[in-house]
Amino acid sequence: MSETQRPKSVGARVQRLEDPRLLAGRGRFTDDHRAPDTLHLAFRRSEEAHARILAIDTATAAAMPGVVAVFTAADLAGEIRPVRAESRMRDYYATEFVALATNKVRYVGEAIAVVAAESRYLAEDAAAEIEVDFESLPPLGDTDAALAEGAALLHEEAASNVIARREFARGEVEEAFFAAPHRVGGRFRMHRKTPAAIENRAYRAEFDPGRGHLTVHSATQVPGLIRDALAEILDLPGSRLRVVAGDVGGGFGGKASLYPEEVVVAALARRLEATVKWTGDRLEDLTTTSQAFDEVVEAELAFDGAGRLLGLTAEVVGDVGAYSIYPWTASLEPVQVISFLPGPYRLPAYRGAVRAVATNKPPMGPYRGVGRPVSVFVMERLIDMAASKLGLDPVEMRRRNLVAADEFPYRAGSGLMWDRSGFHECLEAAVAEIDYAGRRAAQSAGPGADGRLIGIGVASYAELTGIGSRISAAPGMPINTGTETATIQLDSTGAVRAAFGIASHGQGLETTLAQVIADELGVAPDAVEIVQGDSAAVPHGTGTYASRSTVLAGGAAILSARGLRERIVQVAALLFEAAADDVEITDGIVAVAGTDRRMSFRELAKAFYSEMGRLPREVRDELALEVTRVYDPFFGTTTSATHIAVVAVDPETCEVEVLDYAVAEDCGRVINPAIVDGQVHGGVAQGIGAALFEEVRHDADGQCLTGSFVDYVVPSAAEIPAISVTHVESVLPATEGGFRGMGEGGTIGATGAIANAVTDALRPLDIDIMELPVTPERLFRLIQNAKINAKTKERDET
């Protein structure tokens, strides 16, 4: 049978293979393992945002019931070797990774000491009794405080609170602005967000003292990275250190970094020769898991009378919190803002500059979209402001400026290279899907009977996904994130097992990778066992982040599955005494075309491994039924989309309701449309959260005000509209399989679409949304000010 005749599972809405387990409560999460002798940890955390530690008294805690041991940094000094988030970037200061605070604390919630006890209850009782003598230092509650003349230094050795700087420039920016007939711009503010995965961070480590083996079960997205880091920190060879991410309940970037608790759990398991566990609670998650955004962007856009973009400038100040997160560095989030700001547009001149400023807040880390939700918010607002100034429709404005099919590959102002992706196709598909013209017509009829104002918001974006070894996933980071390994074997029972370095934590990768392999090998997807989330599965792997897993692991899966298929075919040819060309594999049955000679994988495996004499002995070596291939897409590939949101704003209560939402995206070849839809839905929900609801707040002293889900407002199903997703497969990229990454896009597009929709709704009041999230309270103030301004204007005019 030819390629095209074989039944394909790629492209089909295959039900997620992991779901029966996860939906029936049969998943195995880190906290689910309950060995009787487990020691439970509780951390004594700082209540001060910025202070020197003068003394720590653990005596009372150590004597409390059920307490096995109490440790401070000093007690673990010999156990934990220092590491830093290194980067080749100039103008960057790598702060030291701190497991337990030594002489200073730098944010509220920072771990100072740890109690190991028989239960978490007893551990918490004891942790509350650890006395810390602080000498308060001036808190740097925000970037203004940290940048002020004479401000206290967070890291004295850095000599500045600005711990990273970067600038991108292309074209003649000054001239472009000088010559431009029009410009728009302003100060944009995106507040701080937290990933808020449903499963809090959790770590459990087991030590086998006889063999000196340490196994760390971690609710992480990056078991390979953690294994490599712990090997260095604990000075252990990888062969005796295994990091396993079992089922993981979401991450969104918050579980993609190395954490103090993770290091302490691992170190104490070895030190105490015991199983040690820590499961973060929601308060700990909201105050210590890496956070996102928190940027101020001053941006200006120059354009001509026909709406053609001429130049763009941006100054970004990012509040990166107390430490440079390992391994991504503090530059990751804010630098991405200027990397992606030019968006999918033809833009001859660009200058973007960024400063990463350390403050007394939890560290900034990767979060779904990294920087791009902020770039899209800013750029898409600018595009709409420009359209409004010229009286152009926002869609038409985009039509005139999106990079066109014949212009790819296109180098963006920040140096990023866009390979061909459906920029225009997505715009047109979203416009059609939402019935843009019909919506505009309805909108022009005025507010409905309920007095609500309708707004329509468009946002187009492009992002780089599946990044290969040419570029680091974080600026200048000396860790290769650009390759993935797949090892696929047919074992002696005839079962197919495929091992990867990625770590699915909700994305359905067990299904998509099985689909890819199924088609290559000629078996059903559920006949392929996917092993992932385990550092022992492959010699090197990093994990799942940056919309990389399907592109990289999918590519490696194709290559190694093809290799294995070839060997199976050759083995079959020998067994059947037929020509390899005549051997075909369908549904796990190997047969000689046009004959009734056939055997199952089980029979073939038995013949190959067990039935001596059926094959020449060299064959067992030459045709070993295990193939490992590494895939490196080198550059990566462009994913693009257009989002259109329709909102209703009640100008009296200041409520924003998202009525409708359409996404058209080009993620290359779609492996499983149901999974892509799910990823987009979840992403959009998080983007709506970022645009309307979610904000981590600290007071001027650095105290977190949003320590529960009552105060940190994540939208629930009731606040999220039905979202339609259109898949545009414009032209397949050059990646193996033609896949583009799509895990983050939903979040990236939503900030811009919502901000534009709310602005569009408020046009009668002449309000521009420049700050997200636009909460009811913020909207109230904007509307009050607009009313005052309108009155003043009226008075001035009369």
Partner 1 sequence: MKPPPFDYARPESLEEALDLLARHGDEAKLLAGGQSLMAMLNFRLLAPAILVDINRLDRLAGIEEGDGRLSIGALTRHHALETSDLVAERLPVLHAAMGHVAHLAIRNRGTVGGSLAHADPAAELPAMMCLLDATLRVAGPAGTREISVHDFFTGALETALGDDEILLGIDLPSLPPGTAWGFEEFSRRAGDFALAGVAVLVEPTGAVRLALLGVDETPVRARAAEAELARGALSDAAVGQAVEALRAEISPLDDLHAGADYRRHLAGVLTTRALAAARARLA
What residue ranges bind partner 1 (CB under 8 A)?
120-121, 124-125, 128, 281-284, 652-655, 693, 697, 705-706, 708, 710-711, 713, 715-716, 718-719, 775-777, 780-781, 784
- The distance of closest approach from Cβ of residue 128 to partner 1 in the complex, given in angstroms and rounded to an integer, is 7
* Of 119, 122, 126, the residue nearest 44 (C-alpha): 126
Element spanning 286, H or E: helix 282-288
- The distance of closest approach from Cβ of residue 711 to partner 1 in the complex, given in angstroms and rounded to an integer, is 5
Residue 76, classified by CB atoms within 10 Å of its CB into exposed (0-12), middle (13-18) or buried (19+), is middle
Residues for the chain: how many in total? 798
- The distance of closest approach from Cβ of residue 697 to partner 1 in the complex, given in angstroms and rounded to an integer, is 6
The number of C-alpha atoms within 13 Å of 666 and in the hemisphere containing its C-beta is 30
- The distance of closest approach from Cβ of residue 715 to partner 1 in the complex, given in angstroms and rounded to an integer, is 7
- The distance of closest approach from Cβ of residue 121 to partner 1 in the complex, given in angstroms and rounded to an integer, is 5
Nearer to partner 1, 206 or 695 (CB): 695
**Joined tokens for residue 96:** 């030291």
Nearer to partner 1, 57 or 719 (CB): 719
Nearer to partner 1, 135 or 655 (CB): 655
Nearer to partner 1, 447 or 776 (CB): 776
| Gap between the Cα atoms of 686 and 429, Å rounded | 23
| Gap between the Cα atoms of 134 and 663, Å rounded | 52
Nearer to partner 1, 614 or 697 (CB): 697
Nearer to partner 1, 407 or 652 (CB): 652
CB atoms within 10 A of CB 275: 19
**Joined tokens for residue 516:** 């890819």
Nearer to partner 1, 135 or 281 (CB): 281
- The distance of closest approach from Cβ of residue 784 to partner 1 in the complex, given in angstroms and rounded to an integer, is 8
Q: Are the CB atoms for 359 and 295 separated by under 8 Å? A: no
- The distance of closest approach from Cβ of residue 191 to partner 1 in the complex, given in angstroms and rounded to an integer, is 13
Nearer to partner 1, 361 or 420 (CB): 361
CA angle (377 as vertex; 375, 378 as ends), nearest 5: 65
Beta strands in 532-636 (DSSP E): 583-586, 589-592, 598-600, 626-631
At 128, phi and psi to the nearest 5?
-65, -15
| Gap between the Cα atoms of 276 and 266, Å rounded | 8
Q: What is the DSSP letter of 739?
A: B
- The distance of closest approach from Cβ of residue 558 to partner 1 in the complex, given in angstroms and rounded to an integer, is 44
SS3 content of the chain, % helix, strand, coil (to 5): 35, 25, 40
* Of 213, 214, 226, 221, the residue nearest 247 (C-alpha): 221
Determine the angle formed by the axes of helices 549-576 and 601-609, rounding to 10 degrees: 70
Nearer to partner 1, 595 or 784 (CB): 784
- The distance of closest approach from Cβ of residue 449 to partner 1 in the complex, given in angstroms and rounded to an integer, is 13
- The distance of closest approach from Cβ of residue 688 to partner 1 in the complex, given in angstroms and rounded to an integer, is 12
Nearer to partner 1, 167 or 655 (CB): 655
**Joined tokens for residue 323:** 């430490």
Nearer to partner 1, 675 or 782 (CB): 782
Nearer to partner 1, 634 or 780 (CB): 780
| Gap between the Cα atoms of 580 and 238, Å rounded | 40
- The distance of closest approach from Cβ of residue 122 to partner 1 in the complex, given in angstroms and rounded to an integer, is 9
- The distance of closest approach from Cβ of residue 777 to partner 1 in the complex, given in angstroms and rounded to an integer, is 5
Element spanning 540, H or E: none
Nearer to partner 1, 132 or 395 (CB): 132
DSSP calls for 666-719 = E-BS-S-HHHHHHHHHHHHHHHHIIIII----B-TT--BS--STTTS----GGG
Nearer to partner 1, 122 or 528 (CB): 122
Nearer to partner 1, 93 or 693 (CB): 693
- The distance of closest approach from Cβ of residue 681 to partner 1 in the complex, given in angstroms and rounded to an integer, is 18
- The distance of closest approach from Cβ of residue 717 to partner 1 in the complex, given in angstroms and rounded to an integer, is 9
Nearer to partner 1, 127 or 356 (CB): 127
Residues 47, 52, 55, 60, Cα dihedral to 10° = 10
- Phi and psi based region of residue 699 (left: phi greater than 0; alpha: psi -120 to 50; beta: remaining): beta
Nearer to partner 1, 416 or 704 (CB): 704
**Joined tokens for residue 253:** 């970037």
* Of 110, 448, 163, 173, the residue nearest 299 (C-alpha): 173
| Alpha carbon separation from 658 to 247, 456, 668 (Å, rounded) | 33, 10, 28
Nearer to partner 1, 124 or 491 (CB): 124
| Gap between the Cα atoms of 259 and 267, Å rounded | 13
DSSP calls for 146-202 = HHSTTPPPSSGGGSSSEEEEEEEEES-HHHHHHH-SEEEEEEEEEEEE----SSPPE
Distance between first and last Cα of the chain: 83
- The distance of closest approach from Cβ of residue 791 to partner 1 in the complex, given in angstroms and rounded to an integer, is 17
- Phi and psi based region of residue 212 (left: phi greater than 0; alpha: psi -120 to 50; beta: remaining): left
| Gap between the Cα atoms of 612 and 92, Å rounded | 62
- The distance of closest approach from Cβ of residue 692 to partner 1 in the complex, given in angstroms and rounded to an integer, is 9
- The distance of closest approach from Cβ of residue 200 to partner 1 in the complex, given in angstroms and rounded to an integer, is 10
- The distance of closest approach from Cβ of residue 124 to partner 1 in the complex, given in angstroms and rounded to an integer, is 5
Per residue, the 3-state secondary structure of 622-643, as one string, reads HCCCEEEEEECCCCCEEEEEEE
